[in-house]
């Protein structure tokens, strides 16, 4: 019997009372190397799954150029999202080629952590549109969830784990691909802490959901029930590498920002100093000044805010931006209505003054870009009702008077002759010819009656 101490055949770790080894036919292996081998083997399947998205990962400028085709303005938010997605692909590349080694402390190995993003801005500024557009261009699974439907576990509603289940569905059940997906949670401001109420009921849809999302965003293993047969084992999915993006309107946050940013009046009465306000400049500047402390006062818990280090604000849209939204994007509203009218063989045209009047109405409604469709539907509803029954309409022109004063939309008709007109002309010509022939025949009979002798006319009546 040999007195030689057994050692791991991979790393050379000797067997001790605290470090057991698994013996094989020709060698041994320690627990740390078993974990590393499992991680390396799992990267093989991940690498096969990631072969498609990693062929040509988009660069930040390319991502922003695609977003520019759908979203007008908001350059800061688009640059932030483009950098976040590109870094996500770089982490994916690095993790696939060189998986994290947890066996020993190696100072040369640098682990890249994710940077989750929080988007905030008024309603109708493009937060949801940015997320939905981003889902088209990324090569990894992308899920858009709604925070208003989430509740704590055990209560009526969806658990936070349902988001991961949807991500797994978007990856067609591919666990390795789903672990590198992107999740966007909309209406996150609705999870703000509501405070103590008079009934003493528990806030299961606000602070409770924030606490449930903490480990999910930070990184944990979620048990996703397998769909299909009941005897199938659940899928264990790691959320450590899933990029989380949350967004919300945060209505009411402006008052907290104004209170913090606006300097207090100095002096009392006649000695006080008054500074004129610029409401337009304040609205565009306020959300860019948001700090984590403001979000805490709004109702988000500090632990939740800390898990979203990148805070990006979307500014309110002005009249020029709304006019560009009407005409420039690939799916612009005017292009959509042009297509609808083209199906009825008619051309729809908006004057420049009409577009500005539509933008002014949307601003007055206070719903941002979402209000543009409502204004257009109101303007075009009557015309879209009567146009299919109209004939020979070739162009419909919407002017400023139509938007502001409710005037009728100008219709232009086709000038070509119709079969009905030709038939009418033929019928008229035929009637004129018959009338002329009848008159000529009548005149001939009268002339012959005057030339007949009276005697012959008398004798003609005798036998």
Tell me: the pLDDT tens digits for 393-452? 999 999 999 999 989 999 999 875 444 444 445 455 556 666 666 667 666 666 666 555
As a three-state string, the secondary structure of 295-354 is: HHHHCCCHHHHHCCCEEEECCCCCHHHHHHHHHCCCCCHHHHHHHHHHCCCCEEEECHHH
Quick one: pLDDT at residue 383?
A: 93
Residue 269 binned pLDDT confidence (cut-offs 50, 70, 90): low
Residue 267 has pLDDT above 70, yes or no: no
**CA–CA gap between residue 162 and residue 179 (Å, rounded):** 15
Residue 305 has pLDDT above 90, yes or no: yes
Q: 204, exposed or middle or buried, with CB in 10 Å at 0-12, 13-18, 19+?
A: middle
Tell which wins on pLDDT, 104 or 400: 400
Tell which wins on pLDDT, 76 or 276: 76
The DSSP call for residue 189 is G
Tell me: the pLDDT tens digits for 210-240? 988 998 998 888 888 876 556 678 888 889 8
Tell me: the pLDDT tens digits for 120-138? 988 888 888 888 888 878 8
Residue 350 has pLDDT above 70, yes or no: yes
- Verdict on whether the full-model pTM lies above 0.75: no
What lies within 8 Å, CB to CB, of 363 at 6+ separation is 318, 319, 322, 371
Averaged pLDDT for residues 240-263: 85
CB 323 within 8 A of CB 355: yes
Roughly how many angstroms between the first and final C-alpha of the chain, as a whole number? 170
User: Percent of the chain scored above 90 by pLDDT?
Assistant: 25
Query: What rounded mean pLDDT belongs to the chain?
Result: 79
Quick one: pLDDT at residue 419?
A: 45
């Amino acid at each position: 019997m040999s007195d030689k101490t057994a050692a791991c055949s991979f790393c050379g770790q000797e067997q001790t009372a605290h470090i057991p080894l698994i013996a094989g036919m020709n060698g041994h292996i320690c627990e740390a190397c078993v974990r590393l081998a499992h991680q390396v083997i799992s990267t093989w399947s991940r690498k096969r799954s990631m072969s498609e998205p990693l062929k040509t990962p988009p660069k930040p400028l390319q991502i922003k150029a695609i977003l520019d085709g759908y979203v007008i303005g908001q350059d800061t938010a688009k640059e932030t999202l483009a950098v976040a997605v590109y870094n996500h692909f770089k982490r994916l590349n690095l993790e696939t080629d060189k998986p994290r080694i947890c066996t020993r402390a190696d100072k040369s190995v640098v682990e890249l952590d994710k940077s989750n993003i929080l988007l905030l801005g008024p309603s109708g500024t493009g937060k949801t549109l940015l997320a939905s557009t981003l889902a088209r261009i990324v090569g990894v699974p992308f899920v858009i969830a709604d925070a208003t439907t989430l509740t704590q576990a055990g209560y009526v509603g969806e658990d936070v784990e349902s988001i991961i289940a949807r991500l797994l569905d978007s990856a067609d059940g591919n666990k390795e691909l789903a672990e590198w997906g992107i999740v966007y949670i909309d209406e996150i401001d609705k999870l703000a802490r509501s405070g103590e109420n008079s009934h003493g009921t528990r806030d299961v849809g606000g602070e409770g959901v924030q606490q449930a999302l903490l480990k999910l965003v930070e990184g944990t293993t979620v048990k996703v029930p397998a769909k299909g047969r009941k005897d199938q084992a659940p899928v264990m999915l790691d959320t450590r590498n899933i990029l989380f993006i949350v967004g919300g309107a945060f209505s009411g946050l402006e008052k907290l920002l104004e209170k913090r940013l606006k300097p207090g009046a100095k002096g009392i009465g006649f000695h006080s100093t008054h500074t004129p306000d610029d409401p337009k400049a304040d609205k565009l500047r306020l959300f860019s000044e948001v700090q984590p402390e403001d979000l805490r006062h709004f109702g988000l818990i500090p632990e939740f805010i800390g898990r979203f280090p990148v805070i990006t604000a979307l500014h309110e849209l002005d009249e020029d931006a709304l006019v560009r939204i009407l005409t420039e994007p690939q799916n612009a509203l005017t292009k959509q209505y042009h297509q609808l009218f083209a199906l009825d063989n008619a051309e729809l045209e908006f004057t420049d003054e009409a577009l500005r009047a539509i933008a002014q109405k949307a601003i007055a409604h206070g719903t941002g870009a979402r209000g543009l469709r409502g204004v257009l539907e109101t303007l075009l509803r009557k015309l879209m009702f009567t146009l299919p029954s109209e004939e020979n309409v070739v162009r419909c022109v919407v002017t400023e008077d139509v938007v502001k004063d409710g005037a009728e939309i100008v219709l232009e008709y086709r000038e070509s002759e119709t079969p009905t007109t030709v038939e009418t002309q033929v019928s008229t010509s035929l009637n004129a010819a018959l009338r002329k022939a009848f008159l000529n025949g009548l005149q001939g009979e009268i002339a012959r009656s005057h030339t007949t002798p009276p005697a012959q006319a008398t004798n003609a009546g005798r036998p």
